[in-house]
């Protein structure tokens, strides 16, 4: 068996969590990540028949039964992931028709998967139905997006259009737009279901007065999605209170669509 800490997926997760912390997106235990792993690849590092413990997950995700995830632990600090991955991270397999999580590695202090496991797993189900190559669900608390939910209309079309206009790159990076949930109690199956429903039509879902979820094919892509939306929110907050002299027009957004071969969310452009 090879050393799990040397696995590329492990190195990438550690690097990403550290980077997210350094961006100020994950204060204290804020944020969580889950990555769908390839069973054959994990088998090079772990005995897949050795289950450390099994925990009920409080919901049912039969679509994910047998699937393996690398996931951050509840109450764990992203800033510490790089120093003690085995304590802060776990490899789990969904079992018993997707009602239980079997711990195969990690959470060495007796820890558990993130409290947002319902939103993560349900979002994986939604995104895999749209894109079978989706692997990552990421949640964090970027300040500018969070701040924007206090002062901007939460209508998804309006919210998306504002972000698209803040930087030219936005249309290329998230043409599917940003969905928005009103404030809801976090860490529940209810917010998990609501997030997963929103994930059917966009890879970014803002949780008003809380943070954002992103989904993608790999950690870089998902990080980049959130990074781009957060940058746009930062520009918005810098200009929102100033007299606006120039903007990116809908005609220009259409030109980006045509030139870069992306398709804006239907009905979002004039």
Residues annotated as catalytic are: 116
Contact 137, 91 (CB under 8 A): no
189 binds ligand 13P (CB under 6 A): no
Query: 32 is in the binding site of which of ligand 13P, Zn ion, none (Cβ under 5 to 8 A by kind)?
Result: ligand 13P
Picking from 45, 258, 20, the residue whose alpha carbon sits closest to that of residue 139 is 20
Q: What is the DSSP string of 224-269?
A: HHHHHHHHHHHHHHHHTTS-------HHHHHHHHHHHT--PPTTS-
- Contacting ligand 13P (CB under 6 A), which of 4, 13, 25, 29? 29
Q: Which helix (H) or strand (E) holds 27?
A: none
Distance of CA 85 to the CA centre of its chain: 19
Which listed range, 151-159, 168-176, 207-215, 222-230, lies at the site for Zn ion (CB under 5 A)? 207-215
98 binds ligand 13P (CB under 6 A): no
Picking from 110, 146, 130, the residue whose alpha carbon sits closest to that of residue 26 is 146
CA dihedral angle for residue 44, residue 82, residue 67, residue 98, rounded to 10 degrees:
140
For the bound state, the minimum distance from the C-beta of residue 207 to Zn ion, rounded and expressed in Å, comes to: 7
32 binds ligand 13P (CB under 6 A): yes
For the bound state, the minimum distance from the C-beta of residue 177 to Zn ion, rounded and expressed in Å, comes to: 21
- Contacting ligand 13P (CB under 6 A), which of 7, 17, 30, 90? 30
Which listed range, 24-32, 144-152, 166-174, 257-265, lies at the site for ligand 13P (CB under 6 A)? 24-32
184 binds ligand 13P (CB under 6 A): no
- Contacting ligand 13P (CB under 6 A), which of 67, 94, 107, 116? 116
């Amino acid at each position: 068996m090879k050393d799990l800490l040397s696995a590329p997926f492990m190195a990438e997760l550690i690097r990403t969590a550290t980077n997210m912390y350094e961006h100020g997106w994950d204060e204290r235990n804020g944020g969580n990540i889950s990555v769908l792993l390839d069973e054959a690849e994990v088998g090079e590092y772990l005995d897949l028949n050795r289950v450390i413990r099994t925990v009920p997950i409080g919901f049912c995700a039969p679509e994910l039964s047998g699937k393996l995830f690398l996931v951050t632990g509840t109450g764990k600090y992203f800033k510490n992931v790089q120093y003690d991955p085995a304590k802060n991270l776990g490899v789990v397999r969904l079992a018993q028709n997707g009602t239980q999580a079997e711990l195969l590695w990690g959470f060495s202090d007796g820890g558990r998967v993130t409290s947002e496991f319902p939103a993560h797993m349900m979002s994986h189900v939604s995104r895999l139905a749209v894109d079978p190559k989706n692997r990552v669900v990421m949640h964090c608390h970027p300040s500018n997006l969070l701040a924007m939910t206090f002062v901007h209309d939460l209508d998804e079309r309006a919210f998306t259009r504002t972000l698209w206009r803040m930087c030219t790159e936005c249309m290329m990076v998230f043409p599917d737009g940003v969905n928005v949930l009103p404030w809801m109690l976090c860490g529940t199956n209810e917010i998990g279901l609501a997030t997963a429903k929103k994930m059917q039509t966009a890879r970014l879902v803002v949780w008003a007065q809380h943070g954002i979820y992103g989904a993608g094919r790999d950690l870089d892509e998902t990080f980049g999605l959130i990074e781009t939306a957060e940058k746009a929110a930062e520009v918005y907050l810098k200009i929102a209170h100033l007299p606006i002299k120039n903007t990116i027009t809908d005609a220009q957004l259409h030109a980006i669509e045509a030139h870069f071969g992306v398709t804006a969310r239907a009905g979002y452009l004039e």
